[in-house]
Structure 1
Amino acid sequence: MTTCGLCGTVTGDAYLCKRDTARLAERLADLPALHDEIFYCLVPRQTGWGEIVATRAAAGPRSPLREDVLDELGSGEMAAVLHARRVDIQRVRWPQHSAPPPDGVAADCRWLAMELDWITSHYEAAGDLAREVRALESRARDIVGDPVPRRKVVGTCIALTDDQGTVCGAEITHRAGESRLVCRVCHCVYEGQQDLLLLLHYQPRESA
């Protein structure tokens, strides 16, 4: 019996439980925006968002630039970790292929998200991937002050995942500004009034 590589929950034959898979998908979706935001945090925000702090030659011993941001930008930790994990997953899945060249945080996050179904089913180190991505998100949010709106759970996915009528049942989340709902486990898209009404109608009823 397989257990989730992150939380230890019994999963049957998957290396990540549905909840941690959904959270991993959310983090992969958020990381590119967080990575971009890090560059705007290089100068300390002493006077608020959008106002650049002037630097002077006689500014004193304290650097006008944030050293934690310089460390993050200099090390390229986020890009390096994500790409290394992408290379390893491709090596396991397609050993005959050469390693993909670095293509940036957004491209690697998008690739990993598209391969989540295979990763959770076949990649034994899926828990390590989820743990690394969680740490990267936490580090990035510590730097940027978490300006990215948090996702909110709006319901559970009602899509059928096989011909036996199995319902996905994963949490569906939404973030301000998004025009549609996407299940980050089975990737079913709910868009338009009819889809949303069906989603609402078939939500599980709470037991009395």
Structure 2
Amino acid sequence: MSATCELCHEETGGRYLCERHTVALAKRLADLPTLYDEVAECLVPRGHGWGEIVSTRGAAGPRSPLDEDVLDNVNAAQAAEVVHLWRVDVQRVRWPRHGAPPPAQLAADCRWLGMELEWIVAHYPGTGDLAREVHELEKQARTIVGDPAPRPQRLGTCVAVDGEGVVCGAVVTRLPGQTRVQCRWCSYVYDSERDWLLLQHFQPKEVA
């Protein structure tokens, strides 16, 4: 094992990353889901339904106002695939007898890697490449959403009820201008006027 950081070559006492780059990686993993939510908002024209982007590649007429190369290369699905492959490999090294983790959303995989980060920087030989690739995903997203990253707005707690009558209760947030929100805990989607009214109506009342 190298005794220096794989990114800056600072002495680390046997860890793959120095403290500064460990903290930076943790922050990037925490921020990626929000960044790529905003990427989706930037690439889907405001005021249109989700997924109504129509490619004009090879068609006659005016060119699409969206950069189709950006659509191909910078999107949440691509980022989720990259991060999930890192999660699969980290789990393979740490628990070689376990099967591969099932497919998950970008937020879940980023959260898992963040929770395992102390072990990763101490024991995982691919830590430097992981940090570089996560940084590259962040840079790609920022070419679209700008800098600093957008800050999510807290809407309240999720009011979705499961089959046993239990209310989810997870915090629901959205980015500025976002009109469709999915709870990251139970996956309930808020996208209609009725959904927003119910969310507002059933928020816990503050005690005076």
After superposition, what is the alpha-carbon deviation per residue over 1:42-86, rounded to whole angstroms, capped at 9, x for unaligned? 146xxxxx566xx9x9x9421133324421367932111100000
- Equivalent in the alignment of 1:23: 24
Relative contact order, higher structure (CA 8 A, sep 6+): 1
After superposition, what is the alpha-carbon deviation per residue over 1:88-118, rounded to whole angstroms, capped at 9, x for unaligned? 0000000010000110110000000000110
Which consecutive residues of structure 2, in runs of 5 or more, have no partner in the other structure?
152-208
- Equivalent in the alignment of 1:130: 131
- Equivalent in the alignment of 1:110: 111
- CA change 1:93–1:32 in 2 (3 A) is same
CA RMSD of aligned residues (A): 3.0
- Equivalent in the alignment of 1:139: 140
Seq. identity, % = 62
User: Does the CA contact (< 8 Å) of 2:4 and 2:16 recur in 1?
Assistant: yes
Superposition TM-score, scaled by structure 1 size: 0.61
- Equivalent in the alignment of 1:41: 42
Which consecutive residues of structure 1, in runs of 5 or more, have no partner in the other structure?
45-49, 151-208
User: Does the CA contact (< 8 Å) of 1:3 and 1:16 recur in 2?
Assistant: yes
SS in 1 for 2:12: strand
Indicate yes or no: 2:17 matched with 1:12.
Answer: no
Equivalent positions of 1:59-208 (< 5 A) are 60-72=61-73, 76-146=77-147, 148=149
Superposition TM-score, scaled by structure 2 size: 0.61
One-letter amino acid matched to 2:103: P
Separation (CA, whole Å) in 1 of partners of 2:72 and 2:130: 22
